[in-house]
Structure 1
Amino acid sequence: MIDHAHDLASVQAATERLLTAVGALDNAAVTQSSRLPGWTRGHVLAHLARNADALVNVLEGRPMYVSGEARDADIEAGAPRPLDVQLADVRDSAARFQEASRAPQDWSRTVELRNGITDRAARVPFRRWVEVELHHVDLGIGYELEDLPADFTEREIDFLARRFSGHQDVPATNLVAEDGRSWTTGGGAEGGPVLVEGPAADLLGWLAGRRDGAGLRVKGGALPALPPL
């Protein structure tokens, strides 16, 4: 069962971890490359701030972004800002998201995200939690997939496994973590079932496009090529 109040508290804790870590950087570090191709750390921070505001739009019944072009332009414009401005923007936008989330509302309603994707309002806080945690890793400043909260890792693996379930390009695939937790995904392409085993962090990294799967053990075929998120 989705607990949006728990997820909002987790978002706040994850945001504080990120702000503390980023606060130890300097202006030069913000201009350096992140782990995301073509993005500096400034791009990642600008995206995090604009994503918080975009999710406020979602909760308040407005389009998430004016357009894809406007979203990209805002990130590009925000990327070169100095560290103190980046920190203030991430902090202030996060506060706006928390404020909007505390407003009385029907958490069971359906809301619209980007590209026509819909979801329950109650899942919006978890989606924000995903943004903060994975992009903290993307900054490449010492926070790794292994450092993510265990409950977050399990839920995000489950979310991504469901996302790829039945995908026409992914064969039937069974995922098994070292502690015995398991998931199924794919099934829309010929072949399989493929068994993919390994640490939960590596499973998440592969599913989320953050790792190439080198740390995983594969049986029954090759490691499936996953479509972009």
Structure 2
Amino acid sequence: MTDITNEALMKNLGTAADVLSNKIAGLSDDDVRAATELPGWTRGHVLAHVTNVCNAMGRQIEYTLRGETVEFYDGGMGGRTQAIEMAAGHSAAEHRADLDAALSRVLTVLSGLTAEQWQLPISYRDGVVRDGALALWRELVIHLADLNLGRGPETWSKEFCFYLIDFLTARVPANTRLKLLPLALPPMTVGGGENAVSISGMLTDIAAWLAGRTPTMGSLRAEAAADSVALPTLLPWPSAMAK
């Protein structure tokens, strides 16, 4: 469990939203059509996805404040995919306007919550509002890196990396135990399997690898029984509508 306070989480969300908005401010229509490392997705797909997540999370919270729950995306995963494909080809100006409106919607409703309301139930992962806010933080930070606009995993904060590693422990196979050895930081162990593998490298690279992104600060090294081995194959991202 992360020990980030709700107040700190709101500050992190505001910072992530500001950085994202600033980074896309100068994008041209051609820039938006450029491919990303996500298979089959352009920057337009990424921007459409983040916009949809912001609106979906805002809607989750708006409904729970009325004592109701609602599915994360209209039409479930099929609706999610259709909405992304329909919006991916929008102009850069349209993407900026849509994303700014969506960010304003979700951050406004989050900023007005009482301490008790952070624990209200939402349908996203059968969790509570706080879980949704943490998910939004992941979405904003990770997908900004996917846009390849100079804010890659090497810029992720220590706080975010520690949180992400904790969240992504679910990707460690059941028979595997990972001893993470981030440079100049205390070791961490994730997973409880019998097969022990040590992973050494920069903290940001370890977090990026667990998130399925390309490490940017150097090569990670994996060892088992004092021998170099390939990095383990991770399980899929924890099941959810947004990732």
Residue 36 of structure 1 is matched in structure 2 by 38
Residue 227 of structure 1 is matched in structure 2 by 235
Amino acid at match of 1:85: E
TM-score by length of 1: 0.88
Q: Distance in 2 between matches of 1:56 and 1:181?
A: 37
Residue 132 of structure 1 is matched in structure 2 by 140
Amino acid at match of 2:180: L
Q: In the alignment, is residue 216 of structure 1 matched against residue 224 of structure 2?
A: no
Asked whether the equivalents of residues 111 and 121 of structure 1 are also in contact (C-alpha less than 8 Å), the reply is yes
Residue 3 of structure 1 is matched in structure 2 by 5
Residue 111 of structure 1 is matched in structure 2 by 122
Amino acid at match of 2:119: S
Q: Distance in 2 between matches of 1:176 and 1:119?
A: 31
CA-CA distance at 1:141 after TM superposition: 1.8
CA-CA distance at 1:8 after TM superposition: 1.8
CA-CA distance at 1:119 after TM superposition: 2.6
RMSD: 2.0
Asked whether the equivalents of residues 10 and 111 of structure 2 are also in contact (C-alpha less than 8 Å), the reply is no
Unaligned segments of structure 1, at least 5 residues: none
Q: For each residue in 1:19-51, what CA deviation from the matched residue of structure 2 results, as whole angstroms up to 9, or x when unmatched?
A: 111112211010110121100000000001000
Asked whether the equivalents of residues 58 and 112 of structure 1 are also in contact (C-alpha less than 8 Å), the reply is yes
Amino acid at match of 2:222: V
Q: In the alignment, is residue 174 of structure 1 matched against residue 179 of structure 2?
A: yes
Residue 171 of structure 2 is matched in structure 1 by 164
Asked whether the equivalents of residues 48 and 132 of structure 1 are also in contact (C-alpha less than 8 Å), the reply is yes
Asked whether the equivalents of residues 181 and 199 of structure 2 are also in contact (C-alpha less than 8 Å), the reply is yes
Residue 199 of structure 1 is matched in structure 2 by 202
Q: For each residue in 1:189-215, what CA deviation from the matched residue of structure 2 results, as whole angstroms up to 9, or x when unmatched?
A: xx5211111101110111000027971
Asked whether the equivalents of residues 171 and 236 of structure 2 are also in contact (C-alpha less than 8 Å), the reply is no
Residue 12 of structure 1 is matched in structure 2 by 14
CA-CA distance at 1:158 after TM superposition: 2.0
Asked whether the equivalents of residues 182 and 203 of structure 2 are also in contact (C-alpha less than 8 Å), the reply is yes
Q: In the alignment, is residue 79 of structure 1 matched against residue 88 of structure 2?
A: yes
Q: Distance in 1 between matches of 2:163 and 2:32?
A: 30
- Which residue of 166, 182, 188 corresponds with 1:183? 188
Asked whether the equivalents of residues 176 and 197 of structure 1 are also in contact (C-alpha less than 8 Å), the reply is yes
Amino acid at match of 1:44: V
Comparing 125-134 with 42-51, greater Cα deviation is found at 125-134
Aligned in 2, Cα 1:118/1:215: closer, same or farther, shift over 3 Å?
A: farther
Asked whether the equivalents of residues 204 and 215 of structure 2 are also in contact (C-alpha less than 8 Å), the reply is no
Amino acid at match of 1:17: V
Amino acid at match of 2:49: H
CA-CA distance at 1:137 after TM superposition: 0.5
CA-CA distance at 1:127 after TM superposition: 1.2
Q: How many residues align?
A: 221
Residue 94 of structure 1 is matched in structure 2 by 103
